[in-house]
Amino acid sequence: MRTVVFDLDGTLADTSADLLAAANACFEHMGHGVVLDGRDTLVAFHGGRAMLRTGLARLGVAFSEDDISRYYPMLLRAYGEAIDTHTVLYPGVVAAVEALRRAGFATAICTNKPEALAVELVRRLGITDLFGALVGADTLPTRKPDPAPYLEALRRVGGTVARSMLIGDTETDRKTGLAVGVPVALVTFGPEGRAITRLNPEALLEHYDALPDLAQRILGAAAL
C-alpha cells in the first residue's frame, strides 16, 4: 500500500509558540526570565532538550546532560498544560490528507514528540481520524533519525518501505529518510523556509494543496 508518513511539529502544525512558552516556563521556574523568543523557532522544532540547552547556554549557565534530563520533565509538564494555546495546523493539511486517503494512500505520523503528548495534540487539533497510526519519541527505545520508528509506523498501517515517503521539515527528517531509504519531501513553510533546500531532499512542498499530486508523482499509481 502506498503510504505517506508525516512528521508533526513544523510539518502538520506550527507548534513553536507553545513549545517556546513551555521552555520559558521552565527557565522562569529556575529563577530566570523569558530566555527564548520567536527567533528560536527552529530550536523549538528540534525538541525540548534542544531548547533547554540553547537557553542555558544563552544564560551562561554551566550544565550537564544530567541537568537537561532533570529539567526536561518540568518542561513537558508545562507544555502539557498549554499544548494548544497557540498551535495551528498549516493551511490545507486536512484537505490534502483527506485527498490522499480517498486516492487509496495510507497515512501515519512519526514524530519525536512524546507519544502521549502527540496523541493529545492530534486529538485537540481534530485530526486523529486522518491517520492510521502515530509513533512518538518514546513509543520505541529509539527515535528519528533511527529508522525503527518510521518502520513501525509503516507496519501499523500495512505499508512497505518501497512504496512510502516522508513529509518533514528538519534535518532529522532528512536523515530519517536516508536511514530508511525512502524519498523525503521537506516543507518550505517551516522555520527554515526555502533554505531547507540545503538538505537536497527528493522534493519540496510549498503548500499542502500540492501534496496529493506530489505523492502520486513520487509513489506512482496504485498497484492493480
- List, by residue number, the catalytic residues: 7
Cell numbers given for 17: 509558540
Burial of 85 (0-12, 13-18, 19+ CB in 10 A): exposed
Whether residue 14 contacts residue 125, with contact meaning beta carbons closer than 8 Å, is answered with no
Angle (deg, nearest 10), helices 65-81 and 48-59 = 120
- Between CA 145 and CA 143 the distance in angstroms is 6
Cell numbers given for 148: 525503527
- Between CA 199 and CA 193 the distance in angstroms is 12
Burial of 169 (0-12, 13-18, 19+ CB in 10 A): buried
Cα distances (Å, whole numbers) of residue 201 to 8, 111, 115, 167: 18, 18, 26, 10
Only one residue has cell 491517520, namely: 131
